[in-house]
Amino acid sequence: MRMSPPALPRRAAAEFIGTASLVAVIVGSGIRADSLSQDIGVRLLANAAASALGLGLLIALIGPLSGAHFNPVVTLSEWWSRRPGGGGREVLAYIGAQLAGAVAGALLAEAMFGRAPGAWATEPRSALHLLLGEAVATAGLVLVVQGLRHIGRPGLAPVAVAGYIGAAIWFTSSGSFANPAATLGRAFSDSFTGIAPGSVPSYAAAQLLGMLLGMVLAGVLYGTRGPSGEPKSPDPRRTG
């Protein structure tokens, strides 16, 4: 017997806590890596490993509550895939919680390492090749999430999504932020993982473009129908 989904405030709280935790892992591991090594490869490896492991654990823990989106791109793409069922109020609640959680997570990471919270990042990331990399990274993420839903294997999300992000941090020029909320949060940390506030809008635009590309690719590969036996309005808590 299927249990009723948690009430929207509880799901939004789960998105806030999950996004804050994820950004704290990303930013905190970047600060730690910065302090331990001057080798950029070692720092990137440490940050990628911590980010992937943290993301996988958070999806496994929070997925049953809210779907573990932690990302406006995932929320919007999931809403679009089930738009006949509505859910506009949920989208707004989720995205608001994700944005607030990302900022809180970055400030928490800064405070944990004895740094003054609230210092703006100074690393510019507005070059065209970085924006292309960010669009590719986000398209791949959306394709993974949508693909898991279409093949009826959402339970693989903790491994598949985390594995993809860990790989994309290495194979994309942008470092695979692939998340407008995390991008905003990382503007509050002048560290290895930071992004200058002036670069946030262009990164977010590239991510939204990547989301559209990912959905087109999912449509080409899988069509517009869900897996056999899936209801027309999927459970909004599902990750994929």
Domain assignments of the chain as residue spans, ordered by start = 8-222
| pLDDT for 2 | 57
| pLDDT for 227 | 53
What CA–CA distance (Å, rounded) separates 30 from 25?
8
Q: What is the pLDDT of residues 90-127, one digit of tens each?
A: 999 999 999 999 999 999 999 999 998 878 999 999 99
pTM: 0.89
The parts of the chain modelled with pLDDT lower than 70 are 1-3, 83-86, 225-240
Query: What superfamily in CATH does domain 8-222 come from?
Result: Glycerol uptake facilitator protein. (1.20.1080.10)
